[in-house]
């Protein structure tokens, strides 16, 4: 799949799944702009890793929970001669912390929603006017949005379920313009997310119970993102692609 000279924005593209997606598009020849927030060192490492690939790669610091910053990112890309936008891949999001119902307050819940859902809405709203027929938006959902998540993941699971619903709604609205919108729903992928929030014994148990008997790799999510952004997926829109090794069937 070639994305030679095509403009791609990857939010949260500095590490883990985001980095794998950024590098995959750069390897395929795209002009990639990725955003980062709290991971400057990781952003610099991603830029270094992209050096010498077929495409180009640049980074922008942004807090996409803020209403004006999504528009600023898109405006920057367009100002650099990056229009029209061929693909927006929105990876920004996170669990923040594991909190059960009694431990959460409204401020925490709303923050998780803003980080995962509002950021996706704001990026799609900013990017869509600069997209043309044949372009694509790919949002990052989660298996948690399918099955409710693990202990203390109510807010995160709710947010990821909303992200996948957002993809379906956007697919209907933007479809007549030829813009496709899909989501990815990863299961347990070997990333710093699970290094931080999931105990090693839980990871081992989940991997052992997966039909493929392993965790997934960030590069496997990146391959799916490229497919959904490519013309090979020209008749795929409104879908949430499960990538979990068979742990959960939707």
What are 87's strand-pairing partners? Answer: 8, 136
**Mind giving me the DSSP string for 182-229?**
EEEEE-SBSSHHHHHHS-HHHHHHHHHHSTT-S-B-HHHHHHHHHHHH
Q: Strand order of the sheet with strand 240-243? A: 56-61, 31-36, 7-11, 85-90, 131-140, 180-186, 240-243
156 carries an active-site annotation: yes
Instruction: Report the half-sphere exposure of 119 (CA within 13 A, side-chain side).
Output: 31
* Structure tokens, 163: 């992200």
The dihedrals phi and psi of 92, each to the nearest 5 degrees, come to -45, 130
Catalytic-role residue among 25, 34, 156, 193: 156
Collapsing DSSP to helix, strand or coil, 148 comes out as coil
Q: Hunting for tokens 């392993």 — which residue is that? A: 214
The answer to whether 221 and 21 have CB atoms below 8 angstroms apart is yes
User: Could you tell me if residue 239 is left (phi over 0), alpha (psi between -120 and 50 degrees) or otherwise beta?
Assistant: beta
Contacting residues for 139 by C-beta, under 8 A, at least 6 apart: 90, 120, 124, 163, 164, 166, 167, 181, 182, 183, 184
User: Catalytic amino acids?
Assistant: 156
């Amino acid at each position: 799949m070639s994305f030679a000279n095509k403009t791609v924005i990857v939010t949260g593209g500095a590490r883990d799944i985001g980095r794998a997606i950024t590098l995959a598009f750069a390897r395929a020849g795209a002009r990639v702009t990725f955003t980062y927030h709290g991971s400057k060192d990781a952003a610099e490492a991603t830029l270094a890793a992209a050096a010498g690939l077929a495409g180009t790669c640049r980074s922008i610091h942004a807090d996409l929970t803020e209403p004006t910053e999504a528009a600023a990112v898109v405006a920057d890309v367009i100002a650099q001669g990056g229009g029209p936008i061929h693909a927006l891949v929105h990876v920004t999001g996170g669990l923040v912390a594991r909190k059960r119902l009694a431990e959460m307050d409204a401020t925490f819940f709303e923050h998780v929603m803003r980080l995962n859902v509002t950021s996706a809405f704001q990026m799609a709203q900013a990017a869509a006017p600069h997209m043309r027929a044949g372009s694509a938006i790919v949002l990052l959902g989660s298996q948690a949005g399918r099955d409710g998540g693990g202990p203390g993941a109510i807010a995160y699971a709710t947010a990821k379920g909303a992200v996948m619903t957002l993809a379906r709604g956007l697919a209907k609205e933007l479809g007549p313009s030829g813009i496709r919108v899909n989501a990815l729903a990863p299961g347990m992928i070997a990333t710093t997310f699970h290094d931080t929030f999931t105990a090693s014994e839980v990871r081992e148990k989940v991997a052992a119970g997966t039909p493929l008997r392993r965790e997934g790799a960030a590069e496997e999510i990146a391959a799916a993102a490229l497919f959904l952004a490519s013309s090979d997926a020209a008749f795929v829109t409104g879908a949430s692609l499960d990538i979990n090794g068979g742990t959960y069937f939707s």
